[in-house]
Chain A
Amino acid sequence: MNSAQKKRGGWSWWYLLFVLQFVAVLWPPFYNRAEPRWIGIPFFYWYQMLWVIVSAVTTAVIYLATDD
């Protein structure tokens, strides 16, 4: 197996970035509250919506860093 293959198929430290989104959204005590609100939307809702965007960006970063 050459090194390029190893890079595509094997482990990369970049993958650890995925852990962030698991912790951020699977631990409700972080976000089960109404304040601070944003344009009238309780924290609970905008926080999770924000993480949709953050996780998409994270995934894109991991893609660019690990795929050649």
Chain B
Amino acid sequence: MQDVNWIALTIFVLLFAMITWLGFAAAHWRKGDLDLLHEWGLGGRRFGTVITWFLVGGDVYTAYTFIAVPALAFGQGAVAFFAVPYTIVIYPFLFLVFPRLWNVCRKHGYVTSGDFVRGRFGNRWLALAIAITGIVATMPYIALQLVGIQVVVGALGISGHGFAADLPLIIAFLVLAAFTYSSGLRAPASIAIVKDILIYITAFTAIIVIPVELGGFGKIFAAVPAQKLLLPVPGPNTTGAYGSYATLALGSALALFLYPHSLTGILSASSGHAIRRNAAMLPGYSFMLGLLALFGFFAIAAGVSSLPEYAGGFKQFGNNFAVPALLLHSFPSWFVGIAFAAIGIGALVPAAIMSIAAANLYTRNIHREFINRNPSDRQESQMAKWVSLVVKFGALIFILFVPTQYAIQLQLLGGIWIIQTLPSVMLGVYTRWFNDWALLLGWAAGTFAGTTMAIAVNLKPAYPLALGGYTFPGYIAVYTVILNLLVTVVLTPVFNALSARHAPADQTAAADYFA
């Protein structure tokens, strides 16, 4: 490993200190009573268009994305660019579905997707399934944010053994835990603004400076091996890489806003209009993500993996070290400090929102439903604060003691699991036609089939579905959510006919979904 880079480290620490202060100060921003769950956990639903843009942007485009997408381009080439169509096709869903969900959630004081499903379908077991899926899918995601911090801390030249090696990560997490506890969603919302400005400065500087240093885009792409430059053309009787590319983009897009942390970001907006405007403004981040994916190719062209000073980093972090190495190679130390701080802080924002979202789910759909049915407002928000701590320390312990590879694989499974809540949540916004028990069985079928398929292909995202002599490699989440829907649609009339009872009452009325 290279020596400690003192200038970069100093700037990194200063910026970190600044956002720590900001995180605590945020408690007083648009002050609300933090003893109410929707104040602590949704910022009082008062964030306008601009704050929502920063918050959802910080939430969706995480530090791990900024490390992993270029790393994928660096290692495997064109396929990494699926992140671009993915982040194009999410926005129509955001535009059409989520303002309706926002309206109904505000009308009825729903804080989580579980709350909505409970109210809409009147089945607490279905709401429990939604809540558990959300929590389980979120935990490895939080752990992965720590990988982002680990990589940049390592790249700053801080290394050691045992406890000393983990100390920076532990400090970062204590800070995160403390300000999330005290300020709730206001903390990541305010920090997201700083973080995004730093990220945009880094991305736009790098996209101009590095190609100039390397002699232009023509030379950069000439350095990329031909088989990495484009998707391989499918052979006969298969949709090949085209099928996986498109289904990965579509499936990831469908899953994204079902994640509890995305929903928390959306529900904290001040109006449905703010959400719609963001569907047009958030592609700003997609554009930056595309630029960042190109950094993987810059790293190939700069030849950082063969430079001796970065050998230790690549050995420890694999391809995830490509972007830090590229930045170290191309920029003066002070700028590296800013860029690394952007990535490190970029990990704290989503980690904070994810832990808040998981805490909201536990508090509302597990604790309140099954343990203490009539908590006071104060008890409820206090419970959520404690759970946010538990969730974060769980993620910290996970990343310290379990190989990173497991967190990555669990996060992959998480995407397959979370999409199974689509019929209840996204389609539930439009229709009450589904039977609640049919939805629960559809969810179970999709979750089981998805997990089995993923294990069958050694925890890769794509499964080669064989149908009548043709092979359709595709994202497991897409295949299994179709199965889930089929089961739900077939069983709905069956359950309706079998059951003598009346369907549980729908708390929501048609007009609640409109402004």
Residues of chain A within 8 A (CB-CB) of B249 are 25-26
Chain B residues packing against A (C-beta within 8 Å): 78, 81, 84-85, 87-89, 91-92, 95-96, 100, 216-221, 229-231, 233, 241-242, 245-246, 249-250, 272-273, 276-277, 279-281, 283-284, 286-287, 290-291, 294, 511, 513-515
A1-54 residues at the B interface, CB under 8 angstroms: 1, 5, 8-9, 15, 18, 21-22, 25-29, 32-34, 37, 39-42, 44-45, 48-49, 51-53
Given A52-B84, A59-B95, the answer on whether A28 and B514 have CB atoms closer than 8 Å is no
Q: Are A5 and B89 in contact (CB under 8 A)?
A: no
Which single member of A8, A42, A49 contacts B84 (CB below 8 Å)? A49
Please name the residue on chain A nearest to B87 by beta carbon: A52
Residues of chain B within 8 A (CB-CB) of A60 are 280
Q: Are B230 and A42 in contact (CB under 8 A)?
A: yes
How many residue pairs bridge A and B at CB < 8 Å? 116
Query: Can you list 25 A-B contacts (CB < 8 A)?
Result: A1-B514, A8-B272, A9-B515, A15-B96, A18-B95, A21-B88, A22-B89, A28-B242, A28-B246, A32-B78, A39-B217, A39-B218, A40-B219, A41-B221, A44-B230, A45-B81, A49-B291, A51-B85, A52-B88, A52-B290, A56-B280, A59-B92, A59-B95, A63-B276, A63-B277
Which single member of A25, A53, A67 contacts B85 (CB below 8 Å)? A25
Given A22-B89, A55-B88, A63-B276, the answer on whether A40 and B216 have CB atoms closer than 8 Å is yes
- Beyond contacts A32-B231, A37-B221, A40-B216: 9 other A-B pairs, Cβ-Cβ < 8 A, are A1-B511, A21-B88, A21-B92, A29-B242, A32-B233, A45-B294, A60-B280, A63-B277, A67-B273
Given A49-B287, A62-B95, the answer on whether A42 and B88 have CB atoms closer than 8 Å is no
Residues of chain A within 8 A (CB-CB) of B87 are 52
Chain A residues packing against B (C-beta within 8 Å): 1, 5, 8-9, 15, 18, 21-22, 25-29, 32-34, 37, 39-42, 44-45, 48-49, 51-53, 55-57, 59-60, 62-63, 67
**A5 to B217 alpha-carbon distance, docked (Å):** 50
Please name the residue on chain B nearest to A5 by beta carbon: B514
B-side binding surface: helix, strand, loop or mixed? helix
**A63 to B95 alpha-carbon distance, docked (Å):** 9
Please name the residue on chain A nearest to B242 by beta carbon: A28
**A55 to B246 alpha-carbon distance, docked (Å):** 17
Please name the residue on chain B nearest to A66 by beta carbon: B276
Please name the residue on chain A nearest to B86 by beta carbon: A25
Which single member of A9, A18, A21, A48 contacts B81 (CB below 8 Å)? A48
**A39 to B220 alpha-carbon distance, docked (Å):** 11
Residues of chain B within 8 A (CB-CB) of A29 are 242
Please name the residue on chain A nearest to B89 by beta carbon: A22
Residues of chain B within 8 A (CB-CB) of A25 are 84-85, 88-89, 249
Residues of chain B within 8 A (CB-CB) of A33 are 230
Residues of chain B within 8 A (CB-CB) of A22 are 89, 92
In angstroms, how far is the closest chain B Cβ from the Cβ of A10? 8
Q: Are A26 and B89 in contact (CB under 8 A)?
A: yes
Q: Which of A27, A48, A52, A67 has the most CB of B within 10 A?
A: A52
Residues of chain A within 8 A (CB-CB) of B216 are 39-40
**A40 to B221 alpha-carbon distance, docked (Å):** 7
In angstroms, how far is the closest chain B Cβ from the Cβ of A40? 3
Which single member of B229, B245, B287, B513 contacts A9 (CB below 8 Å)? B513
Q: Which of B88, B233, B250, B276 has the most CB of A within 10 A?
A: B88
